[in-house]
Structure 1
Amino acid sequence: MDKKIKILIVDDEPYSRDELKHLLKSYSCLDVIDEAESGESGILKALQYQPDVVFLDVEMPKMNGMQAAKSLTELKKPPIIVFATAYPQFAAEAFRYEAMDYLLKPYDEDQLVQTIERIVKKLSNPAGSKVKKVEGKLAIEEKGEILYIEPKDIIYVYKDEKISKIKSTHKSYETKTSLKDLENRLLTFSFCRIHKSYLVNLNYINRLTPWFNGAFQLELDGCEEKLSVSRNYIKDLRSRIEI
């Protein structure tokens, strides 16, 4: 995307706002433009700043999150709504307001990554137009040098203890950069988490085979080994690659 995604956080608990703000700031494609401590204030700030996404708590005094969501969906330019709450029982009602996701506190960082991926995908390609990729190369430090890798050449990335290993079409690399950090930096390219330790380039996916306990095995072009797809990630993977 050419510009950052504008985020508004609406939550009556300061610590919850701070936690979510801290997590979201690790994504270079996001910009947390403001925060609000009530549903009423959230609507006013949405009118003022026109955020792309509103992370909205459910249980708030006076106007709760569901009431605020109803008003937000009626705006001329309604934002994407992501509910963020400690109460799972409101999930079904939340999707009546076309919420993109329903995150539970304390936040699961893997689930948050999947949510951000869906947000980026929707805002990059709102009407089926061709997605414009961010230009640039992935910079990694290896043996005291800065190496630059074309994202399109990366087949997959995986974590091996405290080292991240990158398998590309030309060679393999090792870096101390965390898998989560690499995932955030590759977010606007065609990468998807398939396991807590694996990140793959969707352009190299060739075949998906059922395995056991709801898991799958993934075959990639240019790669002899098969990768395991956790059942926690299979739904998101298929939604990213299938038409």
Structure 2
Amino acid sequence: MAETTDAQSLTTLIVDDEPLAVERIQVICAEIDATRVVGTASDGAAALRLAEKLSPDLVLLDMTMPELDGLAVARRLAEHENPPAVIFVTAHDHFAVEAFDLEAIDYVLKPVSAERLERAIERALRHSGSRSGSDDIGRSDSQWLDELWVPHRSELLRIAIDEVHQIDAERDYVRLHVGDPSGPPEASRTYLLLQTIAGLEARLDPDRFIRIHRSTILRRDTIRGLRHDGLGVWSAELQNGEALRIGRTYLSKVKAMAGR
């Protein structure tokens, strides 16, 4: 990373109940010009006390801690007049949706690599720069999701919601289809996310996505047309030529989209 000035560095609080994890993150941060560690805490209550006293720009926050966990700490920090940026550093990938709801900057999986943490801190630095001089602290007023974090290998990827063209239910998970909706289905990249399809549907903009079946949500602009297959059965024809059956429960809403 290129050297940064003091004005560009982020005062940083490290919160983790594992001393070795704190030590490792401190060592990594010492090599990153954009951070200046001003304190460490081993539990959520201590983290909140230090955050109140030190007003850090950035909190590197473990997710699972006794009594007050990382999500609870992040919610309390968000209530501050000038809340710090939060990067979750955790061994568990299944809290990503909750972390996203709290507008965390990033979600880094343990064991932490120097390169991965540096990328997350660079994102926090850009976020800090975009907030300077702004009264709205850079937070979106939209109630709908703009992006998702999905587990992939040893990290989590950010995926813009506009890149997702189909969502399929797989028990307690959803499978996200990402890529060119006009290409063959096998050309799409897919990712599993621990989230029910009903829970995800509630977070999606209904002007951009529509549920056509208990197991399927489609991005509206990928639907080329509707086809009547007889006996009251309808299908949605997609840009790639595929046809997906429309569930009876969802048929009236899909027809209303087409002005029928």
TM-score (norm 2): 0.48
**2:73 aligned partner:** 68
User: Which residue matches 1:6?
Assistant: 11
Q: Distance in 2 between matches of 1:81 and 1:122?
A: 11
Give the CA RMSD over aligned residues: 2.0
Give the structure 1 partner of residue 124 of structure 2. Answer: 119
| Correspondent of 1:40 among 31, 41, 45 | 45
Q: Which structure would you say has the larger Rg?
A: 2
For the Cα contact (< 8 Å) 2:60–2:88, is it kept in 1?
yes
**What pairs up with 1:150-229 in 2 under 5 angstroms?**
none
Amino acid at match of 1:11: D
Structure 2 SS opposite 1:124: helix
What is the identity percentage for the equivalent residue pairs of Structure 1 and Structure 2?
36
Aligned residues: 131
- Is 1:25 matched up with 2:30? yes
Corresponding residue SS for 1:125: helix
* Cross-structure match for 2:212: none
Contact 2:12/2:35, CA 8 A, preserved across alignment: yes
Query: Does residue 89 of the first structure (1) align with residue 94 of the second (2)?
Result: yes
1:81-137 CA-to-partner distances (Å, cap 9, x unmatched) read 1000001111111111110000000013332222121112122332589xxxxxxxx
Q: Is there any run of 5+ residues in structure 2 with no aligned partner, and where?
A: 135-178, 180-260
Amino acid at match of 2:15: V
The CA distance in 2 between the partners of 1:74 and 1:126, in whole Å, is 17
1:122 maps to amino acid: H
1:71 and 1:20 map into 2 onto residues whose CA distance is 23
Output aligned runs, 1:41-56, within 5 Å.
Answer: 41-56=46-61
| 8 A Cα contact 2:88 2:108, kept in partner | yes
Q: Is the 8 A contact 2:14 2:60 kept in 1?
A: yes
1:99 to 104, 110, 117: 104
Instruction: Measure, in 2, the Cα distance between the counterparts of 1:87 and 1:108.
Output: 15
SS in structure 2 at match of 1:89: coil
C-alpha distance in structure 2 between counterparts of 1:96 and 1:68, whole Å: 14
Distance across 2 between alignment mates of 1:32 and 1:88? 25
| Contact 2:77–2:84 (Cα < 8 Å) also in 1 | yes
Q: CA deviation at 1:54?
A: 0.4
Distance in 2 between the 1:125 and 1:59 partners? 30
